Amino acid sequence: MLKAVIFDMDGVLVDSHPSHMTAWRKFLLLHGRQMTESDIELVRSGRKKEEILRCFLGELASDQLRACTQEKEALFQEEMGNTIAIAGVQEVLCELGRAGVPMAVASCGGRQRVHRSLDLLQFTHYFRTIVTGDDVTRGKPDPEIYRKAAAQLRVRPADSLVFEDSVSGVLAAKAAGMTPVGIADSCRAQALLQAGASDALPDFIGVSLEQVQQLFFSTSNTQHHGLPSYSAVVR
């Protein structure tokens, strides 16, 4: 039985990836390197920022890691005014909220940035709990963040639906025993489905409470829930 819906933030609630890419590109240039395609995939992977920094710069002492984190966050703050909500997501949040469905955010972003992003779009009040990268020791694909969100919502992981946009996020949700649904463009949808997403949608336009329930209960395709879905195309 569906008892909770959990959302990743970047790329799911907030269309923040362009701002993140710009900030990371500037950061890497300051550290003497160009951003590559593999770097872009790493940034989009849903991992904690500290893990990404170590991949880019190697092992860092705690003070170096703290300084690099602050530097990257300052660059992102300059771009935050360009972030917008994912199409259709506010309508979904409103409908789930009116129906009394418990909702959570599970994002590996830093606590300050996650809360500021949600406040900026006036989304914070929809969520009973918000779990960030500062609240866990291991980032996605480890299931810790999703298990913690379910525990704080007081629901079983098996009764939770997760909306994710990264392979590591889908793997984390699956490992936690939840049902993941991908939010992705056509280029990334296949990777999410192969990772274990039960379906992949381009955005939340037209998604209703009934359709969220159908996404949870069925191995979805366009005939099941009437939404634009990539599953019938890429499977």
Hey, which residues are catalytic here? 8
Closest by CA to 155, choosing from 220, 92, 101, is 101
**Cβ atoms of 126 and 97 closer than 8 Å:** yes
* Bridge partners, residue 153, by sequence: none
Structure tokens of 153? 């919502």
Amino acid at 120: L
**Cβ atoms of 201 and 207 closer than 8 Å:** yes
Residue 134, classed as helix, strand or coil, is helix
**Cβ atoms of 216 and 101 closer than 8 Å:** no
**Cβ atoms of 230 and 203 closer than 8 Å:** no
